[in-house]
A and B are shown apart, each in its own frame.
Chain A
């Protein structure tokens, strides 16, 4: 587990990501994040994994009240999303890392989205943005998990992937809830033939 943590440790993340990314991009130079997240297969994978995860959540009713269960579900959904990302993106790794740390330190209450970024801060490039732009970039970096100290172009890339993944997550969860809660029963009742 420690090795896993260290693997997910964001210190080495930049190096690993560069290496990984170059290799990956060399092989699939044209894979756009939006297209991959919008594909049916991705949603399929996500949905099934989510269902399994939700079942697990149900199996361990750690909290009776709705809030924690809701949080658990949210965490499960995000975790599954991060897994579906196959660890290619920074935010997915950050989600997994944060949840892993949470699990290890059960007694401590961490904010779910909080990511301790141990990576050396990336040297900001010479280009300076206006303060408003910088403020907005900070906001965005807070929204996207694990992107606190990421340079602006990388931040945009992470945001692109994150938005696409979120869209898929919303689609899948909508379908799931519709499946579970379903339409009003009378519609089905009208078709009964008994």
Chain B
């Protein structure tokens, strides 16, 4: 079906001329010939990698653990202590308008350097619940003109047809226990300025947005807000609105800007208002110093030591195996292709 070159030769010339026309372009990429580095897992490389990891991880682990141990932390659970003994229905008590003042004493076991951070810790409180975490309106918080932007705030969006500022479940459930501290009858000043993120204050909460219709609905959630102070200065609210990812979390309450000496007794007068009793939550008061790594948390240190140790163990094990049972890499004796008995 094809015509072939005829009596004369001359077909070779034409192929030579055509040779380059249809030929694809050459490049190292198109020919898959890019220079490549081909590492292999030699015992030396692998064992040194493990050794290196353990050599780096163990000191970092020790440092982290030391940093964590250096932190002085006083944790005091008060939710059960601050209920009078004769109260059987804790939920009814906490929801009543009775005076819920309570006094506790914290023992400073170790010298605490200023600043001492005051946290409240809630356990079993799901700030990350889907209904909860979305129930806010960033537009409304930021700008005065957007105060009717409450569609995302359900079910705490409107009261009597008027928009709630700040709306949503998060703001509505604002924590409202208060603490005051004294040492030897001398009151300690609690600095509540600058406890929230600066970026939140400057960009997320407007300076001309004032609370409106807040906690006016039939069910009262948490704290009330002073309607004459703009949201930007309501730092407790700003801190609270940074929702926690875990059901156990601490939020900054304030700072004590003086040292607490070892052996001192800190008297705390607190108003136990916040309802954690209906869901068996715990409330704790935490005084803590801080280091470069943050608060007291042994996890990183222990984890580093574990991983470092594990890598060291692996390096050791591989070394032993390497010497006890040396294996030549690329040994052709492992290359037998006996897969078809009927084949060659």
A binds B: no
Chain B residues at the A interface, C-beta cutoff of 8 Å = none
Chain A residues at the B interface, C-beta cutoff of 8 Å = none
